[in-house]
Amino acid sequence: MRVITTIKEMQHTMLLAKKGGQSIGYVPTMGFLHEGHLSLMEKAREENDIVVISIFVNPLQFGPTEDLSSYPRDFERDKELALNQQVDYIFYPSVKEMYPHSSSVTVKVNERTDVLCGKSRPGHFDGVATVLTKLFQIVQPEKAYFGTKDAQQVAVVEGLVNDLHFPVEIIAVETVREEDGLAKSSRNVNLLPEEREQAPNLYQSLLRAKEMILNGERNPQKVVSFITEMITEKTDGKIDYIEIYSYPMLKELTELHGKFIIALAVKFSKARLIDNIILEIYEK
């Protein structure tokens, strides 16, 4: 496994591999790898000749009041985990390498961004789209792997790749969870012990909502109210949003029908957690 820190060397190495006919599978990450990431690498390992991950905490996708400085980092541990997954290359650039001067060119996402996480994080998905545009050019992947935990990100990235014609296939991989159901996240380590105990209620509330819907509930407002009550009652978290939209277009629904996402974000004292489930309901 090789660690590469410069754009020039990374891109050159990948262009050579591609010329040699090798397929490149790519997992972009912000590091502090957990089993969610490992499942993406595993899938990439199965499907490609070369597996590349990048570790880059992208300042452009953090807002001015967000947790850029407290975002957890542990490169030595990440390196070992990647080695165990038979990763071939880690691209590990500095902020200065990726943004040597203020960004003279940025990518703007004009759709699917003003709902869910995008609503409370203006500019977030522009930052994601800009860094991914850069990374896709540097790494030259045939396939790129994303977790459905951030379903809005998957939807936005699909839009980016389709609209700008990047020759890369986006593979969405299912959310990996702790035994108690909590979605794996680098931010989980920032939960206080009692918050960590409460946190599984996020996913539990989604499962209970699913049950309600399978039992016939078709009113999105009633489902949202139910989840709101359960999370308010069982956690100290502050609800950022609980929303239901069609998927992947992320349009509002007046009645639960077709493919849709129930997504939530809850702020604990030092960590904001997200989770979602995607359901499909077609009446006979």
Among 70, 137, 232, 269, binds a copy of itself (CB under 8 A): 137
Q: Kindly state whether residue 251 participates in binding a copy of itself, applying the rule CB under 8 A.
A: no
CB nearer to a copy of itself: pick between 7 and 279: 7
Provide the token pair at 215: 């039992």
Binding mask 144-183 for a copy of itself (x = CB under 8 A): ---------------xx--xxxxx----------------
Q: Kindly state whether residue 103 participates in binding a copy of itself, applying the rule CB under 8 A.
A: yes
CB nearer to a copy of itself: pick between 137 and 225: 137
Nearest C-alpha neighbor of 111 from the set 165, 156, 170, 60: 156
Give the active site residue among 12, 34, 37, 257: 37
Burial (CB count <10 Å: 0-12, 13-18, 19+), residue 176: middle
N- to C-terminal Cα separation, the chain: 53
Beta 258-267 vs 272-281: how paired, if at all?
Answer: antiparallel
Nearest C-alpha neighbor of 3 from the set 82, 96, 100: 82
**Helices 75-84 and 35-47 meet at what angle, rounded to 10?**
40
Q: Kindly state whether residue 96 participates in binding a copy of itself, applying the rule CB under 8 A.
A: no
Q: Kindly state whether residue 129 participates in binding a copy of itself, applying the rule CB under 8 A.
A: yes
Task: Supply angle C-alpha 183, 187, 189, rounded to 5.
Answer: 95
Beta 2-4 vs 24-29: how paired, if at all?
Answer: unpaired
Among 6, 11, 204, 246, binds a copy of itself (CB under 8 A): 11
The region of 68-76, 106-114, 221-229, 251-259 touching a copy of itself under the rule CB under 8 A is: 106-114
Min dist CB 98 to a copy of itself, Å, is: 10
CB nearer to a copy of itself: pick between 7 and 171: 7
257 is catalytic: no
Q: Could you count the other beta carbons within 10 Å of the beta carbon of residue 158?
A: 15
The region of 18-26, 79-87, 185-193, 261-269 touching a copy of itself under the rule CB under 8 A is: 18-26
Q: How far is CA 147 from CA 28, 32, 135, in A?
A: 10, 15, 17
Instruction: Give the residues lining the site for a copy of itself (CB under 8 A).
Output: 7, 11, 15, 18-19, 21, 102-112, 129, 133-134, 137-138, 140, 159-160, 163-167
